[in-house]
Amino acid sequence: MRKIAYKAVVMGVSAGGLAAISEILSQLPTGFNLPLLVVQHVHPRQDAAIGNLYNNICPLPVKEAEDKEEIAPGCVYFAPPNYHLLVERSGTVALSADEKVNWARPSIDVLFESAVYAWGGQLVGIILTGANNDGARGLKLIRAAGGYTIAQDPTTAEYPEMPQSALDAGAVLEVLPLGEIGLRLSLFGNGKANDN
């Protein structure tokens, strides 16, 4: 087993995501020191900023990502509605209005693939509930690069298609029920190297 000090967590969720993300973010400890970047499929014209939905339940600062901002440890970044969220090698965020990928903008695959190019295998990738296959290809890239990949147990997902697609693609190292994913993440975000 080799030791890896992870640099970031990337997470993708679609249908059924509000409850799933709420549960995970509420379990994170105050001292969680990795950035967490999230693509949640939402309506392109959603009125409320996504961060406002979760700031009251998460001990970490939660915000919509802004183009070219530096990615900070211990902060949760959401893709704004109708923008792809990418990671640049400089450690900054990029937002893109390019064409939809997997019928989605933001696309989970776009985030995951850009994060692999920026950070290689120093990533934890997570796929949650959803009704399509977005994220399976990107999660497989994370695993191939040596990152740690988790899928929500499809039997605990409101919409099992997305985690099941990741499993079918051979992209998943660990399958966890929703209630254990936040607790598992707390082990990665404690500043220590982790077995992989």
Q: What is the pLDDT of residues 2-54, one digit of tens each?
A: 457 899 999 999 988 889 999 999 999 999 999 999 999 886 666 556 667 78
Domain ranges of the chain: 3-195
pLDDT score at 3 = 59
Cα 180 from Cα 24, distance rounded (Å): 8
Residue 84 bears catalytic tag: no
Q: Is the pLDDT of residue 179 over 50?
A: yes
Using an 8 Å Cβ cutoff, are 158 and 129 in contact? Answer: yes
Q: How many CB atoms lie within 10 A of CB 100?
A: 13
Residue 153 bears catalytic tag: no
Q: Name the 3-class secondary structure at 107.
A: coil
Left (φ > 0), alpha (ψ -120 to 50) or beta: where does 45 sit? alpha
> What single DSSP character describes residue 99?
P
pLDDT score at 49 = 65
Of the candidates 26, 41, 43, 84, the residue annotated as catalytic is 41
CATH top-level class of 3-195: alpha beta
The encoded tokens of residue 46 equal 């959603």
pLDDT score at 90 = 94
Residue 195 bears catalytic tag: no
Q: Is the pLDDT of residue 194 over 60?
A: no
Higher-pLDDT residue of 189 and 104 is: 104
The encoded tokens of residue 97 equal 């209005």
Percent of the chain clearing pLDDT 90 (strictly above)? 79
Of the candidates 14, 107, 114, 165, the residue annotated as catalytic is 14
Cα 141 from Cα 149, distance rounded (Å): 10
Of the candidates 84, 109, 114, 134, the residue annotated as catalytic is 134
Q: What is the pLDDT of residues 45-62, one digit of tens each?
A: 665 566 677 888 999 999
pLDDT score at 75 = 96
Average pLDDT on 177-196 reads 77
